[in-house]
Every structure is written in structure tokens, then in C-alpha cells.
Amino acid sequence: MRKIINNSKRQAAPRNIGLKKLSVIEWLGIDRVATLGFMLLLLFLLSSGLGVVLTTHQNRSAFNELQELKDEANELDTEWGQLLIEQSTFGVEGRIEEKAVSQLLMQLPDLTEIVMVTDE
């Protein structure tokens, strides 16, 4: 004999009877004021964090540029000092010649009066 088993626990195919279509707001779960406020706070927190990251990046870039400009200023100061030393040495020769001619009454000898001394 065959037994007939009543399988009442067997699930039937899902039916869409009685299901209402959800709007986007309901689907996202922001139909309540508290949830909407929480989502807005998260959005503000995210934008604030991105603002901090952007500002930090800009500050670091500006600081690096400042350091490069300071290095360039130091190099230019060094070059300026070297040029001042060079200018003063060129100015000394002219002053020495002027003093020799005016105060000591020195003059350049003629080419016939110049004697070359050698080691021989």
C-alpha cells in the first residue's frame, strides 16, 4: 500500500499578491526623519574629511614650494656675495693705480725701458 503524505510544509512559488512597490526613498530607508538626518550627517562628515585631506595636501604643496624658494634665495644670496667680492677686487686695482699715479707720481715705463729677467 502506498502512503499518501500530506506535505503541507512544502513552499509554493512566491506570489506578488499584496506586495506594494517601494519608492526610491522607501527602498533606501530614508523615509523617516531620523534616518534622513543620519544620512545627512554622514554626508557632511564625508565632505568634511575630504576637505581636511584637500587642505592638508595644499598646505604640504605650499610648504614644499616655500622651501624650494628659500633654497633659491640662499643660492642667490651666495651668488650676490661672490659678485660683491669680485666687484670689490676689480675696484681695488683701479684705486691702487690711481693712488700710485697721483700720490707717488708713478707712471708706466716705455717698452724700451722694460727688462725681462730670466732664470738662466
In a domain, 117, yes or no: no
pLDDT in tens, the chain (120 residues): 555 555 555 555 556 555 678 787 777 777 778 888 888 999 999 999 999 999 999 999 999 999 999 999 999 999 999 999 888 877 777 778 888 888 888 888 888 888 888 887
Helix, strand, coil percentages (3-state) for the chain, rounded to 5, are 65, 0, 35
Per the structure, the complete domain to which residue 94 belongs is given by 26-105
In a domain, 49, yes or no: yes
Q: How many domains does the chain have?
A: 1
Helices (H), 16-32: 24-28
In a domain, 69, yes or no: yes
In a domain, 63, yes or no: yes
In a domain, 76, yes or no: yes
- Considering the entire predicted model, what is its pTM? 0.49
In a domain, 94, yes or no: yes
In a domain, 15, yes or no: no
* Residue keyed to cell 660683491: 84
Give the C-alpha separation, 39 to 63, whole Å: 36
